[in-house]
Copies of this chain bind each other. A is one copy, B any other.
């Protein structure tokens, strides 16, 4: 019985896609909460509402699953990175990048936390990605900032320090979200509060480097 005739093997493909997505979403949460070693396949399975053996059917090992999620996180990060183009006005570019990173922390906090775990642990899985892709991107932005400084468009600040400050502050809203929540009387920041925080971060940094 059953089985929509459907075109080709559409149903099977849909099942696969839905299960993979469910497992990936669950794994992102669990890895973010407990780190690679602390996360258990049993908990990932439970969170995804599938039996543990099914997790291994779709992803051969725990490490394979972890690497796959790290790729996704990096893809999203690269997307935000692209908002930092070299064309327009420095103040516009920095504002856009800071806002994009703040929004990323708001919308995908688990990815940021996962990244934090990975780095604190010593970047065992991703040191190559950092030392190539990310470093190349960062170095080119640092050069852009040096150019702006040379043109007298902004203060003479150490560019890496500025970039680290942006990384740290924006990601703090994801990585230390629980702490912020406690300080905010055990309530998550409202959209209004978050928007206010975002505006203040932009304002302080832009003024701090002489762009306001």
Which residues of A line the B interface, CB within 8 A?
32-38, 113, 116-117, 119-123, 127, 130-131, 134-135, 138, 155, 157-158, 160-162, 164-165, 167-169, 171-173, 175-176, 178-180, 182-184, 186, 196-197, 200-201, 203-210
Residue on B with the closest CB to A180? B164
B33 touches A121 (CB 8 A): yes
Q: From B37, B135, B167, B182, give the contact of A123 (CB < 8 A).
A: B182
- Contacts A120-B178, A169-B169 known; 15 new A-B pairs at CB < 8 A: A119-B178, A119-B179, A120-B176, A122-B178, A123-B178, A130-B183, A138-B183, A157-B200, A161-B196, A161-B197, A167-B172, A204-B209, A205-B208, A207-B207, A207-B209
A interface secondary structure, majority: helix
A185 to chain B, nearest CB (A): 9
* Residues in B neighbouring A179, C-beta threshold 8 A: 119, 123, 130
Q: What is the CA–CA distance of A206 and B155 in the complex, to the nearest angstrom?
A: 13
* Residues in B neighbouring A157, C-beta threshold 8 A: 200, 203-204
Q: From B35, B123, B172, B178, give the contact of A168 (CB < 8 A).
A: B172
